Structure 1
Amino acid sequence: MTTRTDPADLGAVEARALIGRRALSSEELARACIARVKAVDHAVNALVARDFDRVIEGARVADAAQARGEPLGPLHGLPVAIKDMNDVAGLPTTFGSEIFAKNVPTRDDRLVAGLRAAGALPLGKTNNPEWSAGANTRNRVYGVTANPHDVTRNCGGSSGGSAVALACGYAPLASGSDLGGSLRTPAAYCGVVGFRPSAGVVPGPVRATALLPQPTSGPMARSVADAALMLSVMAAPDGDDPFTPVLDGRTPWEPGDFAVLQPRDLSALRVATTEDFGFAPVERATREAFRAGVSVLAPAFGVLEERTPDCRGADRIFSVLRATMFLATHAKFVDETPELVGPNVTDNVIEGRGYSAADVAEALVLQGEYHRRWRAFFETCDVLIAPAVSVTPRDWHEFWPRRIDDIETESYYHWLAMAYAATIPGHPAITVPCGRDANGMPFGLQIIGKRHGDAELLSVAAGIEALIAAQPDLAPRAPDIDALSAAPALSGAAAFLDIG
């Protein structure tokens, strides 16, 4: 593999600094990112809708504004990849659904508009499973997205296209969203960073089930600092999300502060670790990779104890509330055009119809008890570290893992229990690359912080990331761009458009 100093490989913080002092033009960065997409996307199929002409035009406008001495936004001139769950004016928003294959919005949604107002240049749309249901990025509109470290393997999901785009250098930043690990799983599988914020930090102003805050958007990047920079823009006050407190136009947190990572003394940290939260099915290979990483990092922490919050009821809570949300938002599609709805969405709607009001009431009560147990747990520790995913990346033809070692999984999302353990109580969680598994694929640590301790968690994660970078066996490695450039088109693979 060749060594490059290509602008496409620059992180967001570094690229923005270079642009700010005119050592790099916005147009130069945009053209480098576009060239990278053209060189390798045939092999991975991550950027499924493109806006290259407008990106170049926007980059020229950005350079002209800088030449005139105008104020520059925090993301000035930075290309950003947008998950195909968000509207970008003039580009298709399909949600990975055949029903919306020809849907082209005429304006940006609020998240994209906020990024654009901060100076970002939306490069295009990244692939996701149908309605972001599942952690294998495949749909009947655009096909499968492959892992850039091994194109025969799953890249994770649902923000799989964003993770692959980042790993391959299409853009220094990408948007994602997360209900049961959709930011964290693909980040772990592709060797990048995915941050799930506390409820309300990144507002979801059009979330249909507004008072169920489990789904949230969040930033993805190649480093913690880059993700923090993006969060500082995404965390805008928006009172249409009932979990985003806005008073006199301001939130209790200052969004810009997220970009300022305060140094954290790791030797003062009280760290808890768990391989399975006491209930999740986790394969041996994942446990081994996790132990190897933790054993190297352990001496840096003040206190390190293997223990977990009490996660009783996690599977039941997540199953009932997830199915309730799908029933509320997707039942009409299953009823009216069942032939255009994939198995994951259909199964969730059917599951939701099988629950009673008593089941939902029980799940909400259990969730409240679960939250209080987690809050008490974090009174005795600063962060909790766990694997991000139960299994290492598998062949993408496997729609979802039916077995984890000797355990049969109960549904297409049961294997994501390592992620939804933290989703249920609404704690912030970040995935940071940490070494490789037995197959040579990226492995991700999940670092979980106190609820609404997002800034503190980002600072801790940055310290752990620096510690990992200093360890040759753990430091992240980029995909082989030369090999991907020479690889055949993924669209020619068997079952490319099949979703099971």
Structure 2
Amino acid sequence: EGAILVGKTNAPSFAFRGTCDNKMFGATSTPFKVGYNSGGSSGGSAAAVGDGILLVAEGTDGGGSIRIPAAWCGCYGYKASVGTIPATVRPNAFSLTHPYTWDGSLSRTVKDSAYVLQAMARFDPFDPVSLDRGERDFAAALDKSLKGWRIGFTPDFGIFPVDPEIKDMVAAAAQRFVEAGAVVESVEFDISRSHFELAEAWCRLISISGLESIEALKGGGIDLLRDHADDVPAEFVYWINDAYRRGYVDYNADDVVRTEIYDALQTAFQTYDLVISPVTACHPVPNVPGGITAGPTELGGEKVEPLIGWCLTYFCNFTGHPAASIPTGLSKDGFPVGMQVIGRRWADEDVFAASAAFERIQPWAKIYRVTAERNLR
């Protein structure tokens, strides 16, 4: 569509964590506080946009990999509904990589992400989950009224231990939608499994796509786990080996977990047009030397799965709902905080409409000026 490619940006090995670090290039920092992680997996993309190097950057999202770094780098991140952006994955067109993982964008403004999706969304007959929905005008959706909409806010989906400051900031941001004519209410989720159980289910499911990559490398004469295991994180090696040991019964059990989350979200959407939550349960973590930066292992006295368990994002990868990360301002320590807006399946225009309405009510452009001035001092 005429875009100029500048280069490639940093990411964790095989995109297998919510932080951005690897043993080849090291960690990426959020431009808001160097030395603290940008979030991942599309962390280099988010940092480049947050720092003003790029207007927009491509990202991919298999568990929050667009929305997590968008939250930690103070930019807007968008993950589309399943079937909206085509991908012709081969040799396995039905690979868990797709429709579990989606392309998307990171930008400083909602309008720029709408333009990017306009270029990416289309029907492809060689993608088995691609939907032919005709011409869609995502930019036009930015002017859509929210009057009378019902929005459900959850600080934690009833199960995540979320930093109190993040809860308070996102709760206050959610109430701003009242100024756009919407009704904002608390929504309860009846999820029986713990956040740790659900995060491990994500690790098991996403490791299947990692296993496919390992097998593809073998076809090119590279046995990564045998000859180069030290070049990738130990957690990745663990979960890939775990994937080799699992069978269909295990896979089916994890699809049951996905179904439970799908039902929980769909139940909420019987009442609400949108669901709002924090993007992450914590602020950016310090970078660790050696390419091994991960998320916290404990929050609020609770054990947390460090790869993805502190992210409230992977539910939408389980289910295919569209979701965005919107900047809500800076914490008392100067960290950006992201608000997640989730829409009904295939209601991408609604998520853009809500995002644009919030941007008009509470513009976030000033956070870039504040940070730039602070970094120059």
TM range (shorter): 0.7 to 0.9
1:123-202 map, 5 Å: 123-202=6-85
1:394-473 map, 5 Å: 394-397=285-288, 398-416=293-311, 418-469=312-363
Residue aligned with 1:185, SS: helix
CA contact (8 A) 1:435 1:476 kept: no
Q: Which of residues 149, 154, 166 in structure 2 aligns to 1:274? A: 154
Q: Which of residues 197, 204, 217 in structure 2 aligns to 1:320? A: 204
CA contact (8 A) 2:19 2:307 kept: no
Residue aligned with 1:175, SS: strand
**1:234-278, CA deviations, whole angstroms, 9 ceiling, x for partnerless residues?**
113323322113xxxxx21425x1232252333311000001112
Q: Normalising by structure 2, report the TM-score.
A: 0.87
With over 3 angstroms needed to count, the CA separation of the structure-2 counterparts of 1:265 and 1:258, relative to structure 1, is: closer
Q: CA deviation at 1:285?
A: 2.7
CA contact (8 A) 2:177 2:184 kept: no
Q: Normalising by structure 1, report the TM-score.
A: 0.67
Q: CA deviation at 1:164?
A: 1.1
CA contact (8 A) 2:142 2:357 kept: no
Unaligned runs of 5+ in 1: 1-117, 246-250, 487-500
CA contact (8 A) 1:285 1:391 kept: no
CA contact (8 A) 1:225 1:261 kept: no
Cα distance in 2 for residues equivalent to 1:365 and 1:204 = 25
Residue aligned with 2:143, SS: coil
With over 3 angstroms needed to count, the CA separation of the structure-2 counterparts of 1:271 and 1:129, relative to structure 1, is: same
**1:254 alignment counterpart:** 135
**1:444-479, CA deviations, whole angstroms, 9 ceiling, x for partnerless residues?**
11000000111222112111221112xxxx665106
CA contact (8 A) 1:137 1:160 kept: yes
Cα distance in 1 for residues equivalent to 2:173 and 2:107 = 21
Say which structure, 1 or 2, has more relative contact order (CA 8 Å, 6+ apart).
2
With over 3 angstroms needed to count, the CA separation of the structure-2 counterparts of 1:152 and 1:386, relative to structure 1, is: same
Cα distance in 1 for residues equivalent to 2:165 and 2:19 = 19
Cα distance in 2 for residues equivalent to 1:209 and 1:279 = 34
1:279-318 map, 5 Å: 279-313=159-193, 314-315=198-199, 317-318=201-202
With over 3 angstroms needed to count, the CA separation of the structure-2 counterparts of 1:240 and 1:311, relative to structure 1, is: farther
Q: CA deviation at 1:365?
A: 3.2
Q: CA deviation at 1:157?
A: 0.8
Residue aligned with 1:344, SS: helix
Residue aligned with 1:157, SS: coil
CA contact (8 A) 2:93 2:128 kept: no
Q: CA deviation at 1:324?
A: 2.6
Cα distance in 2 for residues equivalent to 1:346 and 1:284 = 34
CA contact (8 A) 2:343 2:351 kept: yes
Residue aligned with 1:410, SS: coil
Unaligned runs of 5+ in 2: 216-222
Q: CA deviation at 1:181?
A: 0.7
Q: CA deviation at 1:420?
A: 0.8
Cα distance in 2 for residues equivalent to 1:134 and 1:428 = 20
Q: Percent identity?
A: 29
Cα distance in 1 for residues equivalent to 2:298 and 2:70 = 22
Residue aligned with 1:448, SS: strand
Residue aligned with 2:133, SS: coil
Cα distance in 2 for residues equivalent to 1:188 and 1:444 = 4
Larger Rg: 1
Residue aligned with 2:270, SS: coil
Residue aligned with 2:171, SS: helix
CA contact (8 A) 1:136 1:399 kept: yes
CA contact (8 A) 2:175 2:184 kept: no
CA contact (8 A) 2:76 2:324 kept: yes
Q: CA deviation at 1:222?
A: 0.7
Q: Which of residues 234, 237, 262 in structure 1 aligns to 2:120? A: 234
1:351-366 map, 5 Å: 351-366=242-257
Q: Greater CA deviation, 261-270 or 136-145?
A: 261-270
CA contact (8 A) 1:385 1:445 kept: yes
**1:75 alignment counterpart:** none
Cα distance in 2 for residues equivalent to 1:146 and 1:206 = 31
**1:337 alignment counterpart:** 228
With over 3 angstroms needed to count, the CA separation of the structure-2 counterparts of 1:170 and 1:458, relative to structure 1, is: same
With over 3 angstroms needed to count, the CA separation of the structure-2 counterparts of 1:296 and 1:376, relative to structure 1, is: closer
Residue aligned with 2:313, SS: helix
Q: Which of residues 84, 107, 113 in structure 2 aligns to 1:221? A: 107
Cα distance in 2 for residues equivalent to 1:415 and 1:169 = 27
Cα distance in 2 for residues equivalent to 1:143 and 1:310 = 40
Aligned residue pairs total: 358
Residue aligned with 2:319, SS: coil
Cα distance in 1 for residues equivalent to 2:46 and 2:114 = 16
Residue aligned with 1:163, SS: helix
With over 3 angstroms needed to count, the CA separation of the structure-2 counterparts of 1:342 and 1:262, relative to structure 1, is: closer
CA contact (8 A) 1:277 1:421 kept: no
With over 3 angstroms needed to count, the CA separation of the structure-2 counterparts of 1:315 and 1:148, relative to structure 1, is: closer
Q: CA deviation at 1:345?
A: 1.9
**1:413-459, CA deviations, whole angstroms, 9 ceiling, x for partnerless residues?**
2122x001222111000011111223121111100000011122211
Q: CA deviation at 1:482?
A: 6.2
Q: CA deviation at 1:290?
A: 2.0
With over 3 angstroms needed to count, the CA separation of the structure-2 counterparts of 1:292 and 1:440, relative to structure 1, is: farther
